[in-house]
């Protein structure tokens, strides 16, 4: 139980620390939000899946590239799953209302009944601006976790958008 609380505090601390250091970057756009969806693990021919959820933050300083930090939790057979997957989002299609891109980067994974593992993630996603300050999106990723299992995730993202300016 202490470990679960530690992982939640760690992920919240990472997100808050990232927000504090990045707020001086004068980014073109910030998105703070949450994701919910499906997560599956595949190891040694067996698989398990469940509902996953967590917060995310995205900073888009260039319009065509963004940095994303997220934390994901899921209650799977055998215990709690946790991951933190910082990534780079590249947008070949991006307008004020709609963006589609690829995401990739490292990942840190705590599998049920196992120690923290390192891995990678790669996927695709998109966002649609419902209003000036609210976006809805979808994202799917594959996560090869070294010396452990492979994971997949499909999320719906809900986010609040903020635009940086010299007046901040």
Is residue 51 a part of any domain in this protein?
Answer: yes
Q: What is the pLDDT of residue 23?
A: 40
The percentage of the chain sitting over the pLDDT mark of 90, rounded to a whole number, equals: 62
The pLDDT tens digits for 89-134 are 999 988 888 899 999 999 999 998 889 999 999 999 999 999 989 9
CA dist., res. 101 & res. 63, Å (int)? 11
Is residue 168 a part of any domain in this protein?
Answer: no
DSSP letters for 110-124: E-TTS-EEEEEEEEE
One-letter-per-residue 3-state SS of 27-47: CCEEEEEEEEEEEEEEECCEE
DSSP letters for 91-156: EEEE-SSEEEEEEEEEEEEE-TTS-EEEEEEEEEEEEEEEETTEEEEEEEEEEEBTTS-EEEEEEE
Q: Is 0.95 surpassed by the pTM of this model?
A: no
Is residue 97 a part of any domain in this protein?
Answer: yes
Give residue for tokens 């492979």: 150
- The DSSP element (H or E) to which 55 belongs, if any, is strand 46-60
Domain count, the chain: 1
Is residue 11 a part of any domain in this protein?
Answer: yes
CATH number of the structural domain spanning residue 118: 2.40.160.20
Is residue 167 a part of any domain in this protein?
Answer: no
Is residue 158 a part of any domain in this protein?
Answer: yes
Closest CA to 121 of 75, 156, 88, 90: 88
The pLDDT tens digits for 125-162 are 999 999 989 999 999 999 999 999 999 999 999 999 88
């Amino acid at each position: 139980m202490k470990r679960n609380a530690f992982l939640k505090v760690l992920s919240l601390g990472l997100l808050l620390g990232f927000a504090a250091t990045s707020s001086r970057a004068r980014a073109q756009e910030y998105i703070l939000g949450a994701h919910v969806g499906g997560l599956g693990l595949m190891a040694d021919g067996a698989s398990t899946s469940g509902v996953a959820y967590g917060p995310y933050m995205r900073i888009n300083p260039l319009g065509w590239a963004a940095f994303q930090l997220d934390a994901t939790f899921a209650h799977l057979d055998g215990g709690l799953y946790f991951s933190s997957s910082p990534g780079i989002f590249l947008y070949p299609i991006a307008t004020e209302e709609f963006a589609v891109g690829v995401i990739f980067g490292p990942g840190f994974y705590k599998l049920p009944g196992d120690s923290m593992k390192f891995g990678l993630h790669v996927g695709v996603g998109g966002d649609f601006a419902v209003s000036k300050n609210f976006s809805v999106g979808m994202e799917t990723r594959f996560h090869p976790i070294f010396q452990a299992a492979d994971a997949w995730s499909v999320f719906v993202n809900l986010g609040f958008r903020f635009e940086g300016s010299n007046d901040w």
